[in-house]
Amino acid sequence: MGDRRIVMTHTDRCPEGCTVCVEACPPHVFSLMEEVHGGLGAVPAERVTGPAFVHHVAYLRDEDEDEKRVRDRFAALCDELKIPETQRSLGETRAHAWGPAPDGPEKLQLTWELHTEYYFIRAVLDGGPEPASPERMEPVSAAMHRAGRPPLLTSLEILVVDRPMDPDEVCERIVCRNRFGARVLGGDVAVYTNYEPFEGRERYVVAGTPEAVAEHGSFIVSNIGRIENYYHLLMIPRLEVRDTVQEVHRMEHAFSERMERLTAEIGEATPDRLRAWLGDLTLDLAQVVRRYGRFNHVLSATFPYTELVRQGFAEWKEQPVAGFDSLSAVILDRVATVGDEYRAFLARLDRMQDEISDLVAILRTRVDMSMEAQNTQVLQNLDARSAIQLRLQQMAEGLSVIVISYYLTGLASYVFKALTHEGILASEILPTALFIPVAVCSAFLVTRKGAHLIRKKRTRPPSAD
């Protein structure tokens, strides 16, 4: 190797003859870098030079369609078209295969790409004599449709011609009730379409100088597919939104009438009536929240699709063609309109959700206030009963003093009578009368002490046992 020195960080990857590896790293050190760069450059790029005929189909992915299942169907397509395994390059989300066209001089290229919500297969018959014919693609396109799983998202036929075409010749290729076209990418190549599906396929014509087609053909074909795919993804929810708008309108009308009735009667409504209203509105709120959650999930992805469509048209760098309308004007206008429809629809659901939530909060506050008033009344009744019980208890204590005093005086009178009978006292009447205050004081003290012990026992905290 002479004086040239090669510095590596893994001895297992050193080229033959390397003697200056400065650090030995375990293999897992490179796992993140390999994952980040995995697949880059592994799948050959698609080449479109013209004349060529392109068929592009895209399918929506089902929830149960994993990557392996979709990729296996593309491999089965290659088998059906007899493309050798040595002429296939399959990555995780992108694949490319190439070989001779069935029963013809053209070269066949197949491209497969897997995206989050869809996947597409594109076939290119390239290098044959002009004009390329859709019939030449039929054996391939039929196999392509068998390799996909409906629902179908996009179906395109793109004719690529390596020479300029005049408007009359373009109209021979596509039905020109509506004519859209523009020179793109510097003006040496033009793209034409009518945006009208014919027999389930949309038709495009790409025409330009051989040099421009060779340089930009692959990008133009790819960009047409990208614009159409994202435009269709953007438009798919539109029908469901329009159907649901009528239902939302009826819900708004019913809610408006209910709100007017509630606000008029809420001041005199009973707690039971308030709770019934609250239950009905809670159900309405649940329905609105469910619809808002569903459409927020469905429509949230459409707003990035809008930007991707705009970006695709911006990359054309359009220049006008006499006799043809702009490629982007009608689509971008519709994209903007649909995007505004989606935003207005979500805002409408969000606003109704807020209004119902506010009314539910008012009713709940009203119910809470009613319950507080009832609780206050109950507490007042309890206070009144407690006062009555206290007075009854005081009366009972007073009667207890009288009864105890009476019995003590009676007992004392027997003592005084005995003393009088023995001659110790002259009479029992005066001592008995003098004993009455003593009996009353004694009865009062005994009753007071007993009541104090009872109250103390009631207020004593429970023992740990």
Binned at pLDDT 50, 70 and 90, residue 187 comes out as: confident
pLDDT digits (tens, 9 = 90+) for 192-211: 998 888 888 899 999 999 99
Task: Report the pLDDT value the prediction gives residue 192, as an integer from 0 to 100.
Answer: 94
Q: How far apart are the first and last CA of the chain?
A: 92
Highest mean pLDDT among 104-108, 250-254, 308-312: 308-312
Average pLDDT score over residue span 178-194: 91
pLDDT exceeds cutoff 60 at 126: yes
Percentage of residues in the chain with pLDDT exceeding 90? 28
CA pair distance 204, 157, nearest whole angstrom: 6
Task: Report the pLDDT value the prediction gives residue 458, as an integer from 0 to 100.
Answer: 63
CA pair distance 120, 141, nearest whole angstrom: 13
| 347-353 long-range Cβ contacts below 8 angstroms, 24+ apart | 348/248, 348/252, 349/248, 349/288, 349/291, 349/292, 349/295, 350/292, 352/248, 352/251, 352/252, 352/255, 352/288, 353/285, 353/288, 353/289, 353/292
Binned at pLDDT 50, 70 and 90, residue 129 comes out as: low
More confident residue, 449 or 23: 449
More confident residue, 200 or 326: 326
Q: What is the mean pLDDT of the chain?
A: 82
Highest mean pLDDT among 62-71, 101-110, 114-123, 365-374: 114-123
Could you give the maximum distance between any two Cα atoms of the chain, in Å?
161
Task: Report the pLDDT value the prediction gives residue 38, as an integer from 0 to 100.
Answer: 61
Q: Is residue 140 within 8 Å of residue 125, measured between CB atoms? A: yes
Average pLDDT score over residue span 289-298: 86
Per-domain residue ranges of the chain: 1-37, 52-233, 238-377, 384-459
Average pLDDT score over residue span 235-242: 89
The one-letter amino acid at 20: V
Task: Report the pLDDT value the prediction gives residue 207, as an integer from 0 to 100.
Answer: 93
Q: How many CB atoms lie within 10 A of CB 249?
A: 11
- Nearest alpha carbon to residue 165 among 324, 338, 385: 324
pLDDT digits (tens, 9 = 90+) for 138-169: 888 889 998 888 899 999 999 999 899 888 88
pLDDT exceeds cutoff 70 at 19: no
pLDDT digits (tens, 9 = 90+) for 334-383: 999 999 999 998 998 888 888 888 888 877 877 777 777 777 777 887 87
pLDDT exceeds cutoff 60 at 311: yes
pLDDT exceeds cutoff 50 at 465: no
Task: Report the pLDDT value the prediction gives residue 44, as an integer from 0 to 100.
Answer: 73
Binned at pLDDT 50, 70 and 90, residue 132 comes out as: low
More confident residue, 278 or 36: 278
- Nearest alpha carbon to residue 205 among 177, 256, 154, 163: 163
Binned at pLDDT 50, 70 and 90, residue 302 comes out as: confident
Task: Report the pLDDT value the prediction gives residue 243, as an integer from 0 to 100.
Answer: 85
Q: Which residues contact 343 (CB under 8 A, 6 or more apart)?
A: none
pLDDT exceeds cutoff 50 at 225: yes
CA pair distance 354, 188, nearest whole angstrom: 55
Task: Report the pLDDT value the prediction gives residue 17, as an integer from 0 to 100.
Answer: 52
More confident residue, 244 or 367: 244
- pTM to 2 decimal places: 0.71
Task: Report the pLDDT value the prediction gives residue 435, as an integer from 0 to 100.
Answer: 80
Beta pairing, strands 202-208 & 152-161: parallel
Task: Report the pLDDT value the prediction gives residue 29, as an integer from 0 to 100.
Answer: 54
Highest mean pLDDT among 263-267, 276-280, 309-313: 309-313
